[in-house]
Amino acid sequence: MSLKVKALKKSLWVFHLSTASCNNCDIEILDLLTPRHDVERFGIVLVGSIKHADVLLVTGIVNKKCKPIVKKLYDQMPKPGFVVAVGTCSAGRGMFENTYMVDEHEPLDKVIPVDAYIPGCPPKPEAIIDGIVKLLKK
């Protein structure tokens, strides 16, 4: 494994993008940063600018309004970078499956490539850590 990949695995900077989520997933993500779960142990920090990020964390469904924004943000992320879909919503549209503002058959992974899915409505913080660990093993 090259030094570059090793360093990348030790220092993931996360940009949190909430498309039309119900905010429950977002709260669980904030939980990750609290003393109890403390993801800074693994070098994971939340950054405010997509240009600094290695991971694009998407919560919520991608509706018609959000779609171009999600695409744009993905293009702005410096590669190599990952996309993690948190929650049933972003993985497979969840309970918003049949609503009018969502394009038919267009969950997140049809819009941008997704590297890891973390199911749950909302997923527990432990599940999110587990997902990230699985992503890193890949």
Partner 1 sequence: MKFFVYMMEFIIFPGFLFTATVGLLASWVDRKVTARIQYRMGPPWYQGFADIVKLLGKETLLPSGASKHFFLFAPLLGLAGVTLVSSFLWIANIDGNKSFVGDIVVALYLLTLPAISLILAGFASNNPVASIGSSREIKLVLSYELPFILAIVVPIIKSGGSISINGILSNQAANGMTASSLSGFIALLVGILCMQAKLGLVPFDISEAETELTGGPIIDYSGAPLAVFKLTKAMLLFTVPVFLIVVFMGGIAVSGISILWSTLKYVMLLVIIILIRNTNPRLRIDQALRFFWGPVTGLAVVAVVLALFGL
Toward ligand SF4, which CB reaches closer, 94 or 125? Answer: 94
Q: At its nearest, how many Å lie between ligand SF4 and the CB of residue 109?
A: 15
Q: Which two tokens stand for residue 68?
A: 């171009």
Number of residues forming the site for partner 1 (CB under 8 A): 23
3-state secondary structure of 37: coil
Q: What is the DSSP string of 40-73?
A: GGGT-EE-S-GGG-SEEEEESB--TTTHHHHHHH
From residue 49 to residue 68, what is the string marking binding to partner 1 with x (rule CB under 8 A)? Answer: x-xx-x--------------
67-96 positions binding partner 1, by CB under 8 A: 76, 78-80
Name the residues that contact ligand SF4, by CB under 6 A: 21-22, 24-25, 59-60, 87-89, 94-95, 121-122
Compute the distance between CA of residue 75 and CA of residue 122 in angstroms, rounded to an integer.
27
